Structure formats: C-alpha cells, structure tokens
C-alpha cells in the first residue's frame, strides 16, 4: 500500500509497476489518496465491482492487466493452473485456458461499460496470436514467458493509447469550446483523469485549455447516489488548481436557466450504433435540460466506447446496484431502512439530444450512425461480449 501527496498533473489511477497492478482506491476519495496493489484476477474483479477502479476506460485498462495476473496465477499453479506444464501443445492449451478463465471472470464484473469487453477482446486475440503464431516475429515461439510478455505489452499498449487518445479528445474539445467562447461548462459524474489512464474524456478539453492558460470554470453535479461528481471530479479539478463549483444534481436546471455555462460535457460508458448514449444515471435529464435551454450537449469518448453490435440504446444492459447506495449517503442512513429502492447506475440519452460526439479522431455531428461506424470500425472488430 502506498500513500502520499501527488504532483498536480492529472493523476494516473491505474499503473503497472515491477510489482504488478496498482490502482488509486477511488472509494476513499476525497478523504484519502491511497494506492493499492491488485495481485489476482479475483482482486481486480472485486476492485471493479466495488468501484475502487471505475470509469469506462479505466475499467478496461485494469481488466487487461487482470488477464496478465491470471496467467501469472496459472503459472504458480493457481486459477486455471491445471494441466501439463511441459512445452508445446499442453502448455499452449493451459496458457489459453488461463487467459479465457481470467477474461470470462473479469467480463462479469460490470455490464454497461463496453470498454471492459473491448479490452478483454483485445487481450484474448493477442493471446491467441502469441500462442498460435501471428504477425509478431516472436509469436508462436518462446513458451509461457514470451506469451505472457506479449500479453503484458498489449495491456501496456491499451494504457498508453488511452493517454494519447484522451489528449486528442482534449484537443478537439478545446477547439469546440473556443469556438463557443466558453468560460464555463457543466459536467456529470466523473469522466476525468480518475476514469481513464490520465487525462479524462469530458474533462480532457478543460485540461488542454488550462495548459494553454485558459481556465474554464466547471460546474459539477454531485451525481447521487455514489457522488462521483462531488468526491472525484471536484477533487481532481481542485487538485489541478482549476475553478470548480459543486452543485446538487437538482440545481443543474438553475445553472442552465441562468446561462452560467456555454456547454454540457459528459463521458459515456457505451454508445450504440445510432448514437444513443449510456452514461451515469442523471445524464439523460441533463441532456433534456440542455436542449430546453439551448445549451450544446457534448459527449466525449474514445472509439472503444462505441458498440456497433448494439443498434440502439434499448439494447444496452444497464447495471442495477444494491439498495443501500440509495438508502444511505456517505454511509449515513437517509431513508427508512427497508424502503423499496430502484437503483440503475446508468441511463440512456437518446441520440437526438446529443449535439456532437468529441472523439480522438475529431468531432462527429448528426446524423451520427455513419460517423460512429467510421470511428469504431477497427475498435469493434471481434469484440467479445460476455455470454
């Protein structure tokens, strides 16, 4: 476990060190910045389920490293570690079984963010290429250590690519906000550095503009029930020295009606082929409000968040979480102990309410289907959904 102060550059919530996978435990923020190592598939699965690591891209990154931990466990004779250890056929099978077992388990951690399945699909395909022979000179040779190295390199590539493409999202979004002459935006939940490898999606344009000396004010919805806006977004923006105003979710209408923001900027957990957007519950009402007040509603996302296999938002599985998250607030009871609760973690914003998508390859305007197809063609190929 590591504790300590950080420099003020956007935080890296998921990292790989010589000792393994290390995450910032986001359930402890804003009170405590604590990192902890995850050493097994089960620990990564639990950390994703408990929202210690959260946000669509960060979940995918953590799961990719979880697959590496899975083959390490198998090598030590743990999970999926049955079968012969000799080189050749049996070892290949044992390696692939370990990869599949880890990926199957991690795919069950949370259902909505498609980045999880995208990353696991990439890891499965890399494992098969490594073991059976593919486009890398080392593929098909070298045995367990070489195959494991190929997997680790794939997970590191997913992490590094995310950093780069969030910066690209930031550049495109910064251009849009400059065109609008924006000096303030409204956001929901946390689609910042804590939700990605480092720079965030919805907050990336804010960080890019800040680096150019233009400090936008960010109005942040608390984002009940788990308060990702209050606990995480307000924390990371303050830490970066940026102006932030926290509001109760129900105050968003007032902020929009008073003309205090020139754009609403949110992230996404999954975007269907027609442009419908699953994101943190409370995003849909914000989009309705933005339309009512003539404020542009932008969704920032990497191509790995687009799910071309799901035609519309109706097909997106929406996670429902336990009742205690609503019956309590910050651990304190705020409702009768046994009251019935409905607790969807996400909602679906119809594409008609989206002004534009801000992606690593540029801005996509309506009609969205074609632009999203072009963006996600590569990312979606061979994606493996949980059974």
**Residue 151 lies near ligand MRU (rule: CB under 6 A):** no
Could you tell me the two tokens for 210?
Answer: 């800040």
**Residue with the two structure tokens 């542009």:** 296
Find the part of the chain contacting ligand MRU (CB under 6 A) among 95-103, 213-221, 266-274, 375-383: 266-274
**Minimum distance from residue 166 beta carbon to ligand MRU (Å):** 8
d(CA 298, CA 170): 12
Classify residue 31 by its DSSP letter.
T
Instruction: Select the residue whose beta carbon is closest to ligand MRU and give its number.
Output: 267
Which DSSP letter does residue 344 get?
Answer: B
For position 233 contacting ligand MRU by CB under 6 A, the verdict is no
**255 binding ligand MRU? (CB under 6 A):** no
Chain position carrying tokens 């504790």: 3
Which window, 34-42, 48-56, 137-145, 306-314, contacts ligand MRU (CB under 6 A)? 48-56
56 near ligand MRU (CB under 6 A) = yes
Residue 195 binds ligand MRU, judged by CB under 6 A: yes
How far is it, in rounded angstroms, from Cα 221 to Cα 241?
Answer: 19
Pairing assessment for the beta strands 270-272 and 332-333 based on DSSP bridges:
unpaired
Work out how close the CB of 35 gets to ligand MRU at its nearest, in angstroms, rounded to a whole number.
18
165 binds ligand MRU (CB under 6 A): no
Whether omega before 29 lies within 30 degrees of 0, making that bond cis, reads: no
Helix boundaries (H) for 108-216: 114-132, 144-180, 204-211
Contact pick of 13, 111, 267, 275 for ligand MRU (by CB under 6 A): 267
Binding test (CB under 6 A) with ligand MRU, winner from 23, 40, 43, 55: 55
If one asks whether residue 279 binds ligand MRU (CB under 6 A), the answer comes out as yes
What character string, x for contact with ligand MRU (CB under 6 A) and - otherwise, covers 126-145? --------------------
Q: Which among 137-145, 193-201, 239-247, 322-330 is the span making contact with ligand MRU, rule CB under 6 A?
A: 193-201
367 cis-preceded (ω within 30 degrees of 0):
yes
Distance separating alpha carbons of residues 214 and 78, to the nearest angstrom: 52
Q: Is 77 left (phi over 0), alpha (psi -120 to 50) or beta?
A: left
H or E segment and range at residue 91? helix 89-107
Place of tokens 């950080």: 6
234 is a contact residue toward ligand MRU (CB under 6 A):
no
Tokens of 85: 């250890």
Reference 256, options 285, 229, 292; nearest CA is 292
Catalytic residue status for 269: yes
Min dist CB 87 to ligand MRU, Å, is 41
* CB closer to ligand MRU out of 45 and 147: 45
Question: Which residues between 320 and 379 bind ligand MRU (CB under 6 A)?
Answer: 345
- Going by the DSSP 8-state scheme, the letter that residue 214 receives in this structure is -
Asked whether position 272 contacts ligand MRU by CB under 6 A, the answer is no
Binding to ligand MRU by residue 306, rule CB under 6 A?
A: no
Minimum separation from the CB atom of position 386 to ligand MRU (A): 17
Task: Show the 3-state SS of 42-87.
Answer: HHHHHHHHCCCCCCHHHHHHHHHHHHHHHHHHHHCCCCCCCCCCCC
* 37 cis-preceded (ω within 30 degrees of 0): no
Among 138-146, 150-158, 265-273, 348-356, the segment contacting ligand MRU (CB under 6 A): 265-273
Residues in the interface with ligand MRU (CB under 6 A) total 18
Q: Which is nearer to ligand MRU, 94 or 224 (CB)?
A: 224
Is the Cβ of residue 9 or residue 320 nearer to ligand MRU in the bound state? Answer: 320
Catalytic residue set: 269
**Residue ranges that bind ligand MRU, judged by CB under 6 A:** 51, 54-57, 113, 189, 191, 195-196, 201, 228, 267-269, 279-280, 345
């Amino acid at each position: 476990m590591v504790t300590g102060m950080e420099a003020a550059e956007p935080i890296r919530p998921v990292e790989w060190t010589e000792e393994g996978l290390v995450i910032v435990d986001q359930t402890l923020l804003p009170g405590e910045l604590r990192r902890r190592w995850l050493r097994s598939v089960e620990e990564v699965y639990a950390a994703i389920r408990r929202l210690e690591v959260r946000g669509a891209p960060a979940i995918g990154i953590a799961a990719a490293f979880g697959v590496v931990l899975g083959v390490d466990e198998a090598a030590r004779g743990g999970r999926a570690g049955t079968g012969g250890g000799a080189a050749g056929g049996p070892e290949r099978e044992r390696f692939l079984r370990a990869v599949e077992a880890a990926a199957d388990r991690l795919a069950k951690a949370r259902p909505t963010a498609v980045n999880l399945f995208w990353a696991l699909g990439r890891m499965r395909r890399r494992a098969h290429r490594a073991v059976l022979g593919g486009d890398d000179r080392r593929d098909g040779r070298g045995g367990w250590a070489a195959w494991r190295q190929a997997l680790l390199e794939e997970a590191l590539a997913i992490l590094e690519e995310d950093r780069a493409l969030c910066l690209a999202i930031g550049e495109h979004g910064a251009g849009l906000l400059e065109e609008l002459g924006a000096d303030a935006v409204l956001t929901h939940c946390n689609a910042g550095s804590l939700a990605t490898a480092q720079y965030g999606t919805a907050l990336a344009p804010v960080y890019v503009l800040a680096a150019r000396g233009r400090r936008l004010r960010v109005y942040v919805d608390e984002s009940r029930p788990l308060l990702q806006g209050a606990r995480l977004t307000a924390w990371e923006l303050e830490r970066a020295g940026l102006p932030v105003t926290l509001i109760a979710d129900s105050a968003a209408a007032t902020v929009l009606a008073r003309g205090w923001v020139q754009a609403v900027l949110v992230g996404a957990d999954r975007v269907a082929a027609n442009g419908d957007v699953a994101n943190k519950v409370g995003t849909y009402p914000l989009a309705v409000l933005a339309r009512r007040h003539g404020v542009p509603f932008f969704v920032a996302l990497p191509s790995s968040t687009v799910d071309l296999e799901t035609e519309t938002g109706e097909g997106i599985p929406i996670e429902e979480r336990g009742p205690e998250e609503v019956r309590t607030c910050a651990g304190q009871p705020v409702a009768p102990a046994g009251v019935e609760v409905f607790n969807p973690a996400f909602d679906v914003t119809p594409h008609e309410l989206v002004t534009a998508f801000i992606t690593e390859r540029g801005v996509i305007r309506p009609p969205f289907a074609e632009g999203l197809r072009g963006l996600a063609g590569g990312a979606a190929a061979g994606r493996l959904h949980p059974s």
